[in-house]
């Protein structure tokens, strides 16, 4: 990926960061890069994620999915990082295999998803490092029941991706299920380029080597200067703008296929950097859809946002038919791709003209190679930003608090977090 931070400079945007400030910040980036390199070399928790392009074995993944390689549909049962990376990849790339991600426990939605699938030709990938994630295990039990009710042997259709021990590991051994390991030292939201994210890609027939090659190429750009590394340029600029008041980061890809990527980015940015009263709030949007619903706020609302555009380069195009309506005749000489490009350029220019900071992330297209580079690049940007904030990028204590409260409410043990639920302050306004 390439990154253009010109529209985030103080000379054109407010808040903005001056070139002199970036030069000073670059000294901190050099120190942060040294820390990141050490963490990668020593296989430290979290930093190990940046080694995945070399660690991940695509042949091992393909071997595990071989028994269900003919599946018409794939259900991935997971939540958060156990689902979003895989969903980003498969939603971005075309395949004849239908993919469903059970990452919510809304009963009506889960039931409708299962009823719509040809279960006799559907594969299941259940993903949880611990094997104890309540939402994942609950949904998996529901999926098993649905298969049994349909007369389908779920053990012939299931792959397990989990840690070295736990209920799912025991289940896979008891039923001799194909299984893959969640890599050590890699938090879930950083695991897209491991078996966690790539089992679904393999079942869908995507090029795993190209995904990893794109990520490896991005890894090769990591240097000690934000002026030489696109990922660091993005991470450092986002951090600098946040310090100057842009506490929100709207991620706006201009490709329908990258809509799920915005969800993945939101988890990566929020869960990694939202600590100690620090961190940008990620916003999810889609161009051109949301330039008609959100641009008004971005251009004329509070000056507290960075807008990040992701442009996919050239892709398959379609001509706009001629029309005899005079006011629309100009469209007949164009294509949908040209219209999309014009919409992006106009939106970017609109923000720049209003002095609102925005950054452009450029891809050559939306394919496995470019997608691998984008995922890796944003992970590296996030790790760098965490170093600059001085937070532990790889922990998520607030999430763990809620997990304990949920388990306690369901009778899964004694947790003081569950007791706090009863202490909620109420001020009801009833009909």
User: 101: which strand partners?
Assistant: 76
Residue 372 near residue 215 (C-beta atoms within 8 A)? yes
Radius of gyration of the chain (CA): 23
The catalytic position among 48, 113, 263, 271 is 271
The catalytic position among 362, 403, 404, 417 is 403
Is residue 292 part of the annotated active site? The answer reads yes
- Phi and psi for 265 in degrees, rounded to 5? -60, -40
Residue 238 near residue 280 (C-beta atoms within 8 A)? yes
Closest to 93 (Cα-Cα) out of 372, 314, 360, 378: 372
The catalytic position among 94, 209, 292, 345 is 292
| Sheet containing 2-4, strands listed edge to edge, beginning at the edge strand earlier in sequence | 2-4, 358-362, 305-311, 248-253, 281-284
Residue 85 near residue 264 (C-beta atoms within 8 A)? yes
Catalytically active residues, by annotation: 271, 292, 403
């Amino acid at each position: 990926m390439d990154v253009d931070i010109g529209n985030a400079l103080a000379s054109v945007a407010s808040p903005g960061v001056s070139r002199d400030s970036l030069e000073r910040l670059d000294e901190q980036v050099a120190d942060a890069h040294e820390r990141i390199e050490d963490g990668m070399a020593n296989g430290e928790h979290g930093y190990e994620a940046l080694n995945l392009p070399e660690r991940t074995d695509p042949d091992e993944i393909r071997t595990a999915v071989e028994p269900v390689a003919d599946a018409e549909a794939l259900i991935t049962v997971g939540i958060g990082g156990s689902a979003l990376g895989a969903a980003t990849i498969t939603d971005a790339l075309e395949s004849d295999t239908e993919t469903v991600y059970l990452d919510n426990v809304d009963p009506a939605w889960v039931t409708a998803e299962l009823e719509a699938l040809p279960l006799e030709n559907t594969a299941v990938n259940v993903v949880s490092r611990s094997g104890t994630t309540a939402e994942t295990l609950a949904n998996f039990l529901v999926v098993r029941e649905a298969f049994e009710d349909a007369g389908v042997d779920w053990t012939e259709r299931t792959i397990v991706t989990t840690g070295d021990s736990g209920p799912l590991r025991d289940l896979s051994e008891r039923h001799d299920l194909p299984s893959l390991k969640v890599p050590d030292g890699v938090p879930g939201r950083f695991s897209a380029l491991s078996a966690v994210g790539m089992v679904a890609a393999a079942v869908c027939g995507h090029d795993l080597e190209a995904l990893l090659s794109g990520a490896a190429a991005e890894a090769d750009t990591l240097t000690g200067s934000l002026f030489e590394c696109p990922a660091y340029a993005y991470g450092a600029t986002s951090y600098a703008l946040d310090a100057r008041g842009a506490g929100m980061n709207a991620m706006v890809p201009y490709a329908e296929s990258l809509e799920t990527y915005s969800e993945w980015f939101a988890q990566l940015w929020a869960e990694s950097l939202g600590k100690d009263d620090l961190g940008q709030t990620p916003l999810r949007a889609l161009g051109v859809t949301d330039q008609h619903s959100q641009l008004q706020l971005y251009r004329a609302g509070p000056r507290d946002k960075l807008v990040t555009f992701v442009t996919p380069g050239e892709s398959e195009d379609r001509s706009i038919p001629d029309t005899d309506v005079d006011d629309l005749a100009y469209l007949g000489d164009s294509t949908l791709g040209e219209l999309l490009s014009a919409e992006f350029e106009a939106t970017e220019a609109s923000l720049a003209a209003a002095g609102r900071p925005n950054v452009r992330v450029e891809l050559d297209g939306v394919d496995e190679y470019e997608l691998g580079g984008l995922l890796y690049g944003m992970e590296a940007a996030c790790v760098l930003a965490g170093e600059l904030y001085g937070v532990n990028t790889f922990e998520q204590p607030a999430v763990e608090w809620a997990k304990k409260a949920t388990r306690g409410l369901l009778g899964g043990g004694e947790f003081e977090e569950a007791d706090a639920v009863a202490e909620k302050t109420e001020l009801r306004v009833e009909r």
